């Protein structure tokens, strides 16, 4: 005869629900820092006969062998989350946890309900011994500890050190960080990074995402990226490339070198195959080197809502069942799909009204007749389906090759991180700068080849200094010309203005014919390929930047119309600006641009 026991815990925190949810919905971390002492477990995805996904897990605690399955977790952001484990072996038949969040007057009440079902004598004995009560108290303690120890809810580092690191490893870490501080890429962040590496739970360290840290710590993104790359060079961090599933956005394939990233991958959770896309689904992540922290294999929790913050609602919908849900999300574009492989729709939510959704087999259809303040989902199919409502756009926290390819630290410290000989990578927005010396032929004729070449090399050094100062890289030199790349147009423009000023000062301090630089800048998408100097860039963005440079006069910076029509031009309003238009080789129609006098 099956027996049941339900245990309830209620906690109240003097924090708004969005802050409390951010921390406590991370059930992976809650398990990792709890005092239960349980080790992580291995799991695998299983596709059931009806096409839904369950996860099978295996674990041994003493002499007790556990094997269980569970469907994907269910939650609504800032409202609740729940998870059920159905055991095939062990003392219990089922263990379920429901955690509800409710805010009132800026305070959040968290109610945890733990349900156990069992029919074995061992289960009865464990219940009588108070084992279940003890087990439920551990995540509650972890919640209290987390809220008490986190000095800043945006900072994923508790005050107390939770994990043992040897004194020798700490000394080695301190020496490495001191060495980084002596170089250009420490940025005063080595202390915070060391603190994070020493104190964070294993789950947080499996995939360290620099852009997420930048947001949490309130520091410039480029600085934390460069510090992490420098830490990799120093042997503190290891790096690897991860392909993200375009449906669940979980990492499904890892490679230590960019050239080894596979062309495609399979997501067992979504039961779909997908192609590699360097722009959208390949990111660089870091983890501590083994000498500093050895991370345990496996997982403490199969599906923590905090791990997938883009998913705002996930819940099973039985055949011929309808659900309505009020979601605490801002207006925007949301993708509505099922966990199971199938169709999807993208809905524009205006903050007041959702479109209705109908599920039929593996199709997802919108139904405007059921639009309303709550989102209404009806499953007309014959099998259970798990609805997912998520942000339509990928997280901005992904560190892609497009962002890294223009960083001096990446080029200096990761020369082996190159595309394969025949690989190409589509790159997101990159600002390309071309410069060339005006009347360089006359310069060689007037002072001789050796003297002229020495001046050209000196001007290359000025270019390199200014480009790196603004976070860009010199991609290559072509005769007297320079091609540089930046993460955005503003950095490229400021570098160009600095170059023109530095060249003027260089002319004034030296007894030689004046050097005049012509500069052109354009921003857009590019294709990256391997070259002898690292990565090179190709495409229409590069071509237009080169053509614009050819239209510049000495001492000018020419900006493409696309760049000039942004707020970028506001920073040079005090300078003489002249709009112009010209026919450029390779372009069908005349191209507009603006001349910036320096």
pLDDT at 549: 94
Question: Is residue 438 within 8 Å of residue 518, measured between CB atoms?
Answer: yes
pLDDT at 321: 94
pLDDT at 567: 80
Confidence of residue 535 (pLDDT cuts 50, 70, 90): confident
Q: In the predicted model, is pLDDT for residue 279 greater than 60?
A: yes
Note whether residue 155 is domain-resident. no
Note whether residue 336 is domain-resident. yes
Q: Is 146 left (phi over 0), alpha (psi -120 to 50) or beta?
A: alpha
Q: What is 344-389 written as a DSSP string?
A: EEEEEE-SS-EEEEEEETTEEEEEEEEEESSEEEEE-SSS-EEEEE
pLDDT at 37: 45
Sign of the CA dihedral running 582, 584, 589, 592: negative
Mean pLDDT calculated for residue range 85-109: 93
Q: In the predicted model, is pLDDT for residue 217 greater than 80?
A: yes
If asked whether residues 286 and 328 sit together in one domain, one would say: no
Query: What's the rounded Cα separation, in Å, for the pair 476 and 434?
Result: 10
Mean pLDDT calculated for residue range 547-564: 91
Residues 6+ apart with CB under 8 A from 377: 317, 322, 323, 324, 325, 356, 357, 358, 359, 387
If asked whether residues 12 and 79 sit together in one domain, one would say: yes
pLDDT at 298: 57
Strands (DSSP E) found in 257-329: 264-267, 272-275, 282-288, 311-317, 322-325
The pTM (predicted TM-score) of the whole model is: 0.76
If asked whether residues 215 and 339 sit together in one domain, one would say: no
Note whether residue 53 is domain-resident. yes
Which of 184-188, 216-220, 568-572, 582-586 bottoms out in mean pLDDT, i.e. has the lowest? 568-572
Question: Is residue 193 within 8 Å of residue 228, measured between CB atoms?
Answer: yes
Task: Give 208's DSSP letter.
Answer: B
Out of 425-434, 535-544, 569-578, give the one with best mean pLDDT: 535-544
What is the domain extent for residue 348?
A: 311-391
If asked whether residues 361 and 453 sit together in one domain, one would say: no
Mean pLDDT calculated for residue range 400-415: 86
pLDDT at 77: 94
pLDDT digits 0-9 by tens, 220-236:
999 999 999 999 999 99
The 3-state DSSP class for residue 126 equals helix
Note whether residue 373 is domain-resident. yes
Total domain count for the chain?
4
Q: Single out the residue in 356, 391, 426 at which a domain terminates.
A: 391
Short-list 550, 553, 557, CA closest to 575: 557
Note whether residue 162 is domain-resident. no
If asked whether residues 138 and 184 sit together in one domain, one would say: no
Mean pLDDT calculated for residue range 446-466: 86
Confidence of residue 303 (pLDDT cuts 50, 70, 90): low
If asked whether residues 124 and 20 sit together in one domain, one would say: yes
Query: What's the rounded Cα separation, in Å, for the pair 323 and 560?
Result: 51
Short-list 408, 382, 425, CA closest to 529: 425
Mean pLDDT calculated for residue range 400-407: 86
Mean pLDDT estimate for the chain? 85
Please report which helix (H) or strand (E) contains residue 122, including its range: helix 121-128
Mean pLDDT calculated for residue range 27-36: 63
Cα 520 versus chain centre, distance: 32
Out of 16-25, 372-381, 397-406, 418-427, give the one with best mean pLDDT: 372-381
If asked whether residues 443 and 592 sit together in one domain, one would say: yes
CATH number for 583:
3.30.70.1230
Q: Single out the residue in 299, 323, 350 at which a domain terminates.
A: 299
């Amino acid at each position: 005869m099956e027996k049941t026991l339900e245990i309830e815990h209620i906690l109240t925190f003097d924090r708004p629900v969005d802050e409390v949810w951010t921390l406590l919905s991370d059930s992976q971390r809650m398990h990792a820092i709890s005092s239960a002492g349980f080790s992580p477990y291995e799991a695998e995805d299983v596709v059931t006969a009806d096409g839904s996904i369950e996860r099978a897990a295996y674990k041994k605690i003493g002499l007790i062998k556990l094997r269980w399955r569970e469907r994907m977790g269910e939650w609504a952001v800032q409202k609740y989350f729940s998870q059920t484990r159905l055991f095939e072996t062990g003392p219990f038949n089922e263990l379920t946890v429901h955690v509800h969040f409710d805010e009132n007057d800026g305070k959040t009440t968290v109610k945890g309900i733990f349900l156990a079902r069992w029919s074995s004598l061992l289960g009865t004995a464990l219940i009588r011994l108070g084992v279940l009560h003890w087990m439920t108290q551990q995540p509650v303690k972890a919640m209290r500890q987390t809220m008490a120890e986190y000095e800043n809810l945006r900072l994923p580092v508790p005050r107390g050190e939770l994990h043992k690191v040897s004194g020798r490893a700490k000394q080695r870490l301190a020496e490495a960080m001191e060495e980084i501080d002596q170089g250009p890429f420490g940025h005063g962040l080595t202390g915070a990074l060391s603190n994070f590496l020493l104190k964070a739970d294993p789950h947080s360290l499996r995939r360290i995402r620099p852009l997420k840290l930048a947001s949490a710590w309130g520091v410039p993104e480029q600085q934390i990226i460069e510090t992490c790359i420098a830490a990799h060079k120093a042997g503190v961090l290891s790096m690897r490339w991860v392909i993200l599933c375009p449906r669940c956005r979980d990492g499904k394939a890892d490679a230590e070198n960019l050239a080894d990233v596979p062309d495609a991958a399979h997501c067992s959770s979504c039961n779909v195959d997908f192609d590699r896309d360097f722009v959208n689904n390949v990111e660089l992540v870091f983890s501590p080197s083994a000498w500093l922290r050895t991370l345990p294999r496996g997982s403490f929790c199969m599906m923590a809502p905090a791990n997938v913050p883009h998913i705002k609602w996930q819940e099973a919908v039985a055949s011929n069942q309808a659900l309505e849900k009020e979601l605490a999300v801002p207006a925007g574009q949301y993708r509505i799909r099922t966990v199971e492989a199938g169709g999807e729709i993208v809905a524009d939510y205006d903050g007041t009204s959702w479109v209705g959704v109908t599920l039929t087999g593996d199709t997802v259809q919108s139904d405007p007749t059921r639009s309303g303040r709550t989102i209404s989902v009806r499953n007309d199919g014959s099998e259970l389906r798990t609805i997912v409502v998520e942000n339509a756009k990928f997280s901005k926290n992904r560190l892609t090759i497009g962002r890294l390819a223009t960083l001096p630290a990446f080029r200096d410290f990761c020369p082996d991180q190159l595309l394969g000989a025949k690989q190409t990578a589509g790159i997101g927005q990159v600002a390309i700068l071309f410069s060339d010396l005006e009347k360089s032929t006359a310069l060689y004729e007037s002072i001789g080849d050796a003297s002229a070449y020495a001046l050209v090399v000196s001007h290359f050094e000025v270019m390199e200094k200014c480009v790196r100062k603004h976070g860009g890289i010199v991609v290559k030199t072509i005769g007297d010309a320079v091609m540089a790349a930046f993460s955005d147009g503003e950095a490229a423009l400021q570098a160009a203005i600095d170059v023109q000023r530095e060249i003027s000062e260089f002319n004034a301090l030296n007894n030689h014919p004046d050097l005049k630089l012509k500069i052109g800048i354009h921003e857009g998408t590019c294709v990256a390929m391997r070259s002898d100097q690292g990565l090179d860039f190709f495409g229409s963005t590069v071509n237009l930047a080169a053509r614009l440079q050819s239209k510049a006069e000495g001492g000018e910076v020419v900006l493409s119309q696309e760049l000039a029509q942004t707020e970028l031009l506001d920073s040079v309003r005090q300078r003489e600006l002249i709009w112009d238009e010209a026919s450029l080789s390779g372009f069908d129609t005349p191209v507009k641009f603006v001349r910036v006098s320096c």
